Amino acid sequence: MLKAKARESRFVPPPKLPPPTPVVDVGDAEMRLAQDLLFFAYRGFTNVADQVLEEPGLGRAHHRALHFIGRNPGITVSGLLAILRITKQSLARVLNALVDQDYVRQAPGYEDRRLRLLTLTDKGQALEARLFGAQRERIAQAYRTAGPQAVQGFRAVMRAMMDKGARDYMDGTGSPEDA
């Protein structure tokens, strides 16, 4: 006997199907569409990197760390935490793996020696380049397909979609701590 029956002792007769999630006004349809767009586009974008990550046996968390260290050489652990918004314990797991496997190097801060300044090793730069290469292809193709006009719109909407902290980080206005 199916345990599913415990969940619903007998299948009820097929109900009249309700209409799809109700669209109250014209705007709603657009918003529903945007939900789908974000989900599928983000998945497509991340999937291409996953393939590259398989070889060294790393995960997306490692990719993110690699990416932001690459973009911010000499960033501190706190800075990276502020960007990623995860706990230091979560970051530690990932960062230790990257350091152990010689993708990332730590150096003490110049004036404040409590700081650990993070940089990519050559090996780390090489891996990041491969990851970037995969995603760049996908982005470039999307940009080509959509056209330069569309790219501007894309950027504007994406910028407006993120929270202020992230926007500030992207603007370079303020240290990564503001992200």
Partner DNA sequence: GTATTACGTCAACATTGCTGACCTATTTCG
Partner DNA sequence: CGAAATAGGTCAGCAATGTTGACGTAATAC
Instruction: Report how far residue 5's alpha carbon sits from residue 74's, in angstroms, rounded to the nearest whole number.
Output: 58
Interaction pattern, residues 102-131, with its own copies; x per rule: CB under 8 A? ---xxxxxx------x-xx----x--xx--
Picked from DNA, its own copies, none, the partner binding residue 35 (CB below 5 to 8 A depending on kind) is its own copies
Q: Shortest Cβ distance from residue 74 to DNA (Å)?
A: 10
Q: Shortest Cβ distance from residue 47 to its own copies (Å)?
A: 7
Q: Which stretch binds DNA (CB under 7 A): 4-12, 29-37, 125-133, 134-142?
A: 4-12
Does 113 contact DNA by CB under 7 A? yes
Q: Shortest Cβ distance from residue 156 to DNA (Å)?
A: 27
Q: Which long-range contacts (CB under 8 A, 24 or more apart) does 127-132 make?
A: 127/52, 127/56, 127/66, 127/103, 128/66, 128/67, 128/70, 130/52, 131/49, 131/52, 131/53, 131/63, 131/66, 131/67, 132/67
Radius of gyration of the chain (CA): 22
30-49: contacts with its own copies (CB under 8 A)? 30-45, 47
Does 87 contact DNA by CB under 7 A? yes
Give me 30's structure tokens.
Answer: 């657009």
137-166: contacts with its own copies (CB under 8 A)? 138-143, 145-147, 149-163, 166
H-assigned helices in the chain? 4-7, 26-54, 60-71, 77-84, 88-100, 122-146, 148-161, 164-171
| Nearest residue (CB) to its own copies, 56 versus 117 | 117
